[in-house]
Structure 1
């Protein structure tokens, strides 16, 4: 790989890794399962890289990537049109447009939540992360934490409430 290609590749990776959570969230809002979103996001990443030469320097990478993701979701829906769990493409278009409109607010909420999570002690933050991993077995996590299953669910509820309160406080306008 020559120097120019390496620089182009590095630039793409920086932009993609920066915006991947938002692109993933956008796709996830449009399809029924996390697995579907993962499959579509892989396809989106390939198309983004293949078309990266068309992306203009200083442009809005996230908006560009979400536009490509929208088309990939629509193609995915077309291919699964007979599946009763799939939304009509017109509905997906409306949801996609609203999602893009809401993205700045959602991004701010994600950033504030990240800040709030940093205030949680590392051991508790680790338990929270384990509880929300795909395929997590709460019974096992509760046992390793020294709590009953019911006690662990209560703890999760209190942690979610604490994080929600923290996010609301940080997002509230001054003097509100």
Structure 2
């Protein structure tokens, strides 16, 4: 595995470890890119003069500027629809979604908490995502989309 792959993996591990530090409602991409930037800078510092082409901190900073695509005017509507649709899920399905996506539990952790098999968790999460997608689309169409 190349060193770039190692740094990317370390970045994902750090993002996972610090998931509880992320403030919902803020810019996740900017938050994750900041972590990635520091991981790259750590690697550049570690390599020092040993690397033939180490990026300067200024170049790393320029590469880390988050470019947002044009914002979706309906983002707030989508979020509101998601919130409403979550309320329509059966309690165990809603709890599984919360554990997986809000609390970042793995499928095996959720299975252990519910006394289910890991495969059952994957099935429940898949069904929940499909139900949410269908519900959100119906709500957005009903609201004029």
TM-score tier after normalising by the smaller chain length: 0.5 to 0.7
State yes or no: 1:139 paired with 2:114: no
Residue number in structure 2 paired with 1:122: 91
Runs of 4 or more consecutive aligned structure 1 residues displaced over 3 Å after TM superposition: 80-87, 173-176
Gaps of 5+ in 2: 1-22, 42-55
- Whole-angstrom CA distance in 1 between matches of 2:60 and 2:97: 30
Residue of structure 2 aligned with 1:167, choices 125, 130, 136: 136
Gaps of 5+ in 1: 1-19, 37-75
Residue number in structure 2 paired with 1:32: 32
TM-score, normalisation: structure 2: 0.55
- Whole-angstrom CA distance in 1 between matches of 2:130 and 2:137: 10
State yes or no: 1:155 paired with 2:124: yes
Contact 1:31 1:86 in 2 (8 A): no
Residue number in structure 2 paired with 1:88: 63
Contact 2:85 2:135 in 1 (8 A): yes
- Whole-angstrom CA distance in 1 between matches of 2:133 and 2:60: 31
Contact 1:142 1:148 in 2 (8 A): yes
- Whole-angstrom CA distance in 1 between matches of 2:61 and 2:101: 25
TM-score, normalisation: structure 1: 0.47
State the Cα RMSD in Å: 3.7
1:128–1:173 distance in 2 versus 1, CA, 3 Å: closer
Count of residue pairs brought into register by the alignment: 107
